Structure 1
């Protein structure tokens, strides 16, 4: 598994991590086995959130005895993102996760509370050692600029955004902004939330051809494409151990220039949208 610097945190983090949205919809035993299989395969970067139902509690169980190996991320919902609310929400997440700290804590999306308050809460948590860094999620360039003006340089660890083959809008402005300011970009829903290219579609056949050349899967090819930039990460979610192991295989896959060009031609990024796509 390749690792790279996670923004300005100083941490070296696996480029392929594990998402946990809706993991509580599957059988708990299978989810636990999947998370641990992913960890064994090198996916020690795990993302969760307070709004993900039972995900934090399940993850807390899965990580018993493994916490020191992990880069653990959670998120606060905007309605809780006052200065005091951020601290309360984080402490509740820590209790569910059975840990004393998060490696990174994110604002889930821009909300109505003043961003100055949210960032002040993050800094309170950082000084108390309850989080080691903080970041943002679903932030477009204008919001990123505002956060940078408030916090100053090298405080925003990452921006987590929607990024998959069929939704490459972040490549227009958000991805270059993050690269310029030393902010890690974490792509969520890398398989399109159930809309992965069908094997019989033109795009599906391209992915299959590239996968065959590397003795891997079309899903691993997609993950390798999304992490082709030096500051990008991705967090696929699965509830099947064998799929977690296959996802982890993308962490060693390097596509050729021709293969990248083939994928870009089949899945064009399209025009820049007026608003940032998100789920």
Structure 2
């Protein structure tokens, strides 16, 4: 069973089920295009060691440029990217991986994820990416937006266990069944949209807790994710917020307030899509 590790600093890491060491906190760059290189470089120079991108984000080149601008060695930074599953299946996944590496200006990507259980060819693509991992193009292979049925299907097909499942996680969307399954099967849980895309940043209850702890509402939501032991990747387009988003390690939310935030999950609400319920046929996992 995977243990719940709570990050104590930007340097905190977790050892994944394939032995790869991964930072527990980083920067998400969804919808960051024009200033992506500058933002990534600034984050790295601030101490961030994990950057999360994807084919769908159209900024892998920006991440690669940002890494170069930072002056850090490639092996010091952990980069996650994702393939958007399509009807092209294995061939499409491998082509997309090669484009990813070209954009990153790197011979490898630290972690590569199937972005969602869709496209009808996830099993064949996963097998092809496992081969790419053996070739050294991928250090760790995982999935994103996979529900319990999809994870079970991978196991039934005899495929290697994914190292990570990246899913939407914040107080209003807790996906407890998926989190429980992942932890019972040593699959690390990575949460995206910890700030719920800002849609509920003005929530009265969150504001009251923030005022009580002399923190910002954003810090409360990010700390909730960190305190739950999720790999956390808050997104920002502003360099000025990189520091405040990362100032969540030397304090904690009291248990009574965590219970209040956890209660939001009784009425689940999503700030984005939710493909975790796609059928196995839609995913191509039968």
Distance apart, 1:92 and its partner CA: 0.6
* Change beyond 3 A, Cα 1:105–1:33: same
What secondary structure is seen at the aligned counterpart in 1 of 2:228? coil
Are 1:78 and 1:112, in contact at CA under 8 Å, matched by a contact in 2?
Answer: yes
CA distance in 2, matches of 1:196, 1:272: 11
State the match for 1:164 in structure 2: 170
State the match for 2:236 in structure 1: 238
Distance apart, 1:236 and its partner CA: 1.1
What secondary structure is seen at the aligned counterpart in 2 of 1:136? strand
Are 2:146 and 2:275, in contact at CA under 8 Å, matched by a contact in 1?
Answer: no
Counting only pairs closer than 5 Å after superposition, residues 63-102 of structure 1 correspond to structure 2 as 63-64=67-68, 65-66=71-72, 67-79=74-86, 82-102=89-109
Selected match of 1:148 from 148, 155, 173? 155
State the match for 1:202 in structure 2: 204
CA distance in 2, matches of 1:178, 1:187: 12
Counting only pairs closer than 5 Å after superposition, residues 1-279 of structure 1 correspond to structure 2 as 1=9, 3-24=12-33, 27-28=34-35, 31-53=36-58, 55-64=59-68, 65-66=71-72, 67-79=74-86, 82-152=89-159, 155-168=161-174, 170-171=175-176, 173-198=177-202, 201-212=203-214, 216-230=215-229, 232-265=230-263, 267-270=264-267, 277=274
Query: What CA deviation, in whole Å up to 9, does each residue of 1:227-274 have, x standing for no partner?
Result: 2234x1121111111211111112444333223123224x2343699x
CA distance in 1, matches of 2:269, 2:213: 29
Distance apart, 1:209 and its partner CA: 2.4
- TM-score (ref. length: structure 2): 0.83
- TM-score (ref. length: structure 1): 0.85
What secondary structure is seen at the aligned counterpart in 1 of 2:39? helix
Q: Extract unaligned runs of 5+ from structure 1.
A: none
Distance apart, 1:278 and its partner CA: 5.3
* Change beyond 3 A, Cα 1:188–1:6: farther
Q: Extract unaligned runs of 5+ from structure 2.
A: 1-8, 277-286
* Change beyond 3 A, Cα 1:271–1:195: closer
CA distance in 1, matches of 2:40, 2:75: 15
Query: What CA deviation, in whole Å up to 9, does each residue of 1:167-200 have, x standing for no partner?
Result: 22x12x00001101111111111111230331xx
Query: What CA deviation, in whole Å up to 9, does each residue of 1:40-69 have, x standing for no partner?
Result: 33321111111112x111111001142221
* Change beyond 3 A, Cα 1:260–1:86: same
Structure 1 window deviating more from structure 2 (36-45 vs 114-123): it is 36-45
What secondary structure is seen at the aligned counterpart in 2 of 1:156? coil
- Aligned residue-pair number: 262
What secondary structure is seen at the aligned counterpart in 1 of 2:198? coil
CA distance in 2, matches of 1:142, 1:80: 21
Are 1:35 and 1:241, in contact at CA under 8 Å, matched by a contact in 2?
Answer: no
* Change beyond 3 A, Cα 1:256–1:151: farther
